[in-house]
Amino acid sequence: MSHQPLTHNGAVTFVGAGPGCVDMLTMGAFRALQEADVVIHDRLVGPEILALAKGTLIDAGKEGFGPSTPQSAINALIVGHAGTGARVVRLKGGDCGIFGRLDEEIEALEAAGIQWSILPGLTSAAAAAAAIGQSLTKRGRNRGLRIVTGHDMDGFADQDWKGLARSGEVAAIYMGKKASRFIQGRLMMHGADANTPVTLVENATRPDQRIVAATLGTLSDTATCLTGPAVMLYGLAPRAAAQALPELHEASGLKEVTA
Ligand code: SAH
């Protein structure tokens, strides 16, 4: 392992914190958290991981602006701290390069002439697939995996519905809770089979992880039961072997529901 510091004075390290459980943090992320003077984190990063930081913690989701801090204010916050010569970690849930507004923050740093680097993290789709005992790709089933969002800045996000409606397709749908009826409608309109499995994994890797097996036909009704962050694995059902271990789920405190 390298002994070079991962954080530098007046520079920003973008760090992916993984899906929640501290065991999913990389060694690099752990070291960066220990070295940083300031850690600016998202709402999604839990207390167990934040407790590993030695420097000042700043919640970018709150910092004086209420629950939805404008991106420009977050950019200013990061630039401001790095500008004082502090070693700054910008900590994001999952991987920082997946639905993490990384580019906006990098552009702000470049405009201010501030150095930056990226330490990737485990994205929630990978953790969700592992939780249901499935592989995100499989020979003979899907040659690719789509990572899509349920909504974007303009509202519900349009996708290549026709392509997704083909049998065997697999997609990890992030931020899909509110858009579930829209997604279901678009896919069925493009000919997707109502029996296509869709598995919802809520709070992946956290003590309150929940796996809900649904189908495209039941997706929107099933999604109403979700309360925490959830990834929808379109085209994947929980593997029977993973379901057949109730004592394991009980022991780990994981709940499994079939809808
Ligand atoms: N950068 C993150 C995604 C941020 S967008 C990543 O790589 O995972 C926020 C969305 O991520 C949530 O709405 C949810 O769809 C998903 N998400 C984040 N953490 C999750 C978790 N522990 N379990 C399930 N989904 C999660």
Q: pLDDT (tens digit, 9 = 90+) per residue, 192-234?
A: 999 999 999 999 999 999 999 999 999 999 999 999 999 999 9
> What separation in Å is there between the alpha carbon of 133 and the centre of ligand 1?
19
> What separation in Å is there between the alpha carbon of 82 and the centre of ligand 1?
27
What CATH number has the domain bearing residue 28? 3.40.1010.10
Report the nearest-CA residue for atom 9 of ligand 1: 175
**Residue 175 CB–ligand 1 contact under 6 Å:** yes
**143 and 249 belong to one structural domain:** yes
| pLDDT in the model for residue 64 | 47
**Residue 200 CB–ligand 1 contact under 6 Å:** no
H/E stretch holding 153 reads none
pLDDT value at 1 more than 50: yes
**142 and 48 belong to one structural domain:** no
Q: Which two tokens stand for residue 98?
A: 């997946």
| pLDDT above 70 as % of the chain | 89
> Which of 90, 231, 233, 234 has the most ligand 1 atoms within 8 A of CB, as the residue to mutate?
231
Question: Cα dist. 74→21, 35, 104, 164, 239 in Å?
Answer: 25, 21, 10, 35, 41
| pLDDT above 90 as % of the chain | 84
pLDDT value at 248 more than 90: no
DSSP state letters, 158-174: P--HHHHHSTT--EEEE
Report the nearest-CA residue for atom 25 of ligand 1: 230
> What separation in Å is there between the alpha carbon of 230 and the centre of ligand 1?
6
DSSP E strands in the chain: the ranges are 12-16, 38-41, 56-59, 88-92, 116-119, 146-149, 151-152, 155-156, 171-174, 197-202, 210-215, 230-234, 255-258
> What separation in Å is there between the alpha carbon of 129 and the centre of ligand 1?
13
Work out the burial of residue 120: count CB atoms within 10 Å of its CB; fewer than 13 is exposed, 13-18 middle, 19 or more buried: middle
Residue 232, in any domain of the structure: yes
Q: Which two tokens stand for residue 182?
A: 């829209």
Q: Which of 77, 103, 119 is the last residue of a domain?
A: 119
The residues that are catalytic are 42, 62
| pLDDT in the model for residue 62 | 61
Residue 4, in any domain of the structure: no
Residue 6, in any domain of the structure: no
| pLDDT in the model for residue 153 | 82
Residue 1, in any domain of the structure: no
**Residue 92 CB–ligand 1 contact under 6 Å:** yes
> What separation in Å is there between the alpha carbon of 2 and the centre of ligand 1?
29
**250 and 135 belong to one structural domain:** yes
| pLDDT in the model for residue 250 | 47
**Residue 204 CB–ligand 1 contact under 6 Å:** yes
**Residue 172 CB–ligand 1 contact under 6 Å:** no
Burial 75-106 (b: 16+ CB within 10 A, else e): bebbbebbeeebbbbbbbbbbbebbbebeebb
The sign one gets for the Cα dihedral 96, 98, 101, 102 is positive
Strand partners for 13: 89, 117
> Among the listed ranges 109-113, 115-119, 239-243, which one has the minimum average pLDDT value?
239-243
Residue 5, in any domain of the structure: no
pLDDT (mean) for 47-53: 97
Average pLDDT of the residues of the chain: 91
| pLDDT in the model for residue 247 | 46
Residue 85, in any domain of the structure: yes
**Residue 36 CB–ligand 1 contact under 6 Å:** no
> Among the listed ranges 51-65, 98-112, 199-213, which one has the minimum average pLDDT value?
51-65
CA distance 233 to 239: 13
| pLDDT in the model for residue 221 | 97
Q: pLDDT category, 61, cuts 50, 70, 90?
A: confident
**Residue 14 CB–ligand 1 contact under 6 Å:** no
CA distance 51 to 57: 9
**153 and 198 belong to one structural domain:** yes
Distance of CA 67 to the CA centre of its chain: 18
**Residue 210 CB–ligand 1 contact under 6 Å:** no
Which domain, by its residues, includes 57? 11-119
CA distance 58 to 190: 45
Angle at 141 between CA 249 and CA 133, to 5 degrees: 10
> Among the listed ranges 25-29, 44-48, 113-117, 168-172, which one has the minimum average pLDDT value?
44-48
> Which of 21, 118, 124 has the most ligand 1 atoms within 8 A of CB, as the residue to mutate?
124
Residue 3, in any domain of the structure: no
| pLDDT in the model for residue 67 | 56
pLDDT (mean) for 174-191: 97
Residue 225 carries which DSSP code? T
